[in-house]
């Protein structure tokens, strides 16, 4: 900021701005809130913006109030023409104008968008970086079939980050793999709506639904006999695929793909719906799912 021609008072104010806004913005997202004691709209906005800043403090968001009457030089530098004016500052640069936001929801939506794009360093981000390799380890152990060890890993991570969607999903799916369906159902049923709608949690819910369809000790001999006698028995293929999902996903997928190829409209597309559910449980990013999606596309569009 330019300092030429400034009074001593303005220079002091500028030093304070550097200390309170610019320096913290090197790692934090600073909300520079230009206000005034005589400003009516500011009195209405202040409780909202203060609450949002408190809610986002762990994410590296810092609120700094700037009185335009006692910081005229700073207000002039930012071309503040009216109050309230609200800017987001990161690494010394103005990155967003938050002034149009007037509700808690609007502020949070905008902050979420900004935080998703910038390398802000807060407690939440630090914790996420710390647990990311632990989640990966737990997922690998779970994929390898060691449900008790995966459960132990995710229980420990859950103590560190109980509101993390990936952790909740891993814990629930570990409970399911360990045969603890009631515990998984209680865990997923206790989540608030905001958590329940997260994609990783939806993946765990799909896993629970499949577990209810396909218990690990499901008897399949009768269904195998029906399919062998009549490959066009869609109901038998569907039920057998459901029973096999927990122990032989390749065979389950083959059965469902075969049913879809013969009659994709059977039971209002039930085979395709179950196949998509299986893919969701395994995980969209999994190479097995990518290959299966290509096979499904070949069946549907050729």
Tell how strand 93-97 and strand 85-90 pair up: antiparallel
Distance, CA of 120 to CA of 106 (rounded, Å): 20
* Catalytic (active site) residue 39: yes
Distance, CA of 75 to CA of 78 (rounded, Å): 5
* Annotated active-site residue in 29, 39, 61, 80: 39
Helix-strand-coil percent breakdown of the chain, rounded to 5? 65, 10, 25
Helix (H) or strand (E) holding 114: helix 104-117
Distance, CA of 211 to CA of 201 (rounded, Å): 15
Report the Cα 231 to chain-centroid distance in Å: 41
CA angle 238, 295, 269 (to 5 degrees): 35
* Annotated active-site residue in 29, 42, 187, 257: 42
Please report where in the chains the tokens 């075969």 appear, as a residue. 258
Longest Cα separation, the chain: 95
* Catalytic (active site) residue 42: yes
CA distances from 57 to 48, 79, 111, 120, 132 (A): 14, 27, 12, 11, 21
Distance, CA of 226 to CA of 232 (rounded, Å): 10
Burial class for 241, CB neighbours closer than 10 Å (0-12, 13-18, 19+) = buried
Catalytic annotation, residues: 39, 42
């Amino acid at each position: 900021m330019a300092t030429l021609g400034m009074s001593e008072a303005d220079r002091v104010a500028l030093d304070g701005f550097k200390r309170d806004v610019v320096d913290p913005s090197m790692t934090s997202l600073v909300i520079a809130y230009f206000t005034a004691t005589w400003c009516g709209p500011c009195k209405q906005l202040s409780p909202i913006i203060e609450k949002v800043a408190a809610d986002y403090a762990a994410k590296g968001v810092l609120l700094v109030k700037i009185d335009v009457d006692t910081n005229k030089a700073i207000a002039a530098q930012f071309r503040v023409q009216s109050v309230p004016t609200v800017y987001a500052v990161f690494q010394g640069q103005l990155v967003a104008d938050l002034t149009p936001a007037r509700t808690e929801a609007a502020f949070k939506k905008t902050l979420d968008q900004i935080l998703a794009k910038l390398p802000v360093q807060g407690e939440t981000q630090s914790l996420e970086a710390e647990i990311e390799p632990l989640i990966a380890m737990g997922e690998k152990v779970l994929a390898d079939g060691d449900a008790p060890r995966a459960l132990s890993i995710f229980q420990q991570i859950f103590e560190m980050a109980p509101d993390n969607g990936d952790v909740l999903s891993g814990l629930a799916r570990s409970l399911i793999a360990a045969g603890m369906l009631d515990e998984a159902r209680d865990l997923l049923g206790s989540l608030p709506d905001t958590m329940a709608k997260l994609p990783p949690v939806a993946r765990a819910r799909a896993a629970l639904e499949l577990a209810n369809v396909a218990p690990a000790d499901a008897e399949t001999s009768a269904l195998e006999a029906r399919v062998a006698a009549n490959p066009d028995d869609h109901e038998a293929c569907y039920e057998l695929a459901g029973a096999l999902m927990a122990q032989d996903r390749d065979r389950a997928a083959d059965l469902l793909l075969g049913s879809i190829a013969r009659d994709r409209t059977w039971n209002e597309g039930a085979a395709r719906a179950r196949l998509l559910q299986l893919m969701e449980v395994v995980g969209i990013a999994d190479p097995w799912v990518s290959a299966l999606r290509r096979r499904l596309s070949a069946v549907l569009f050729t």
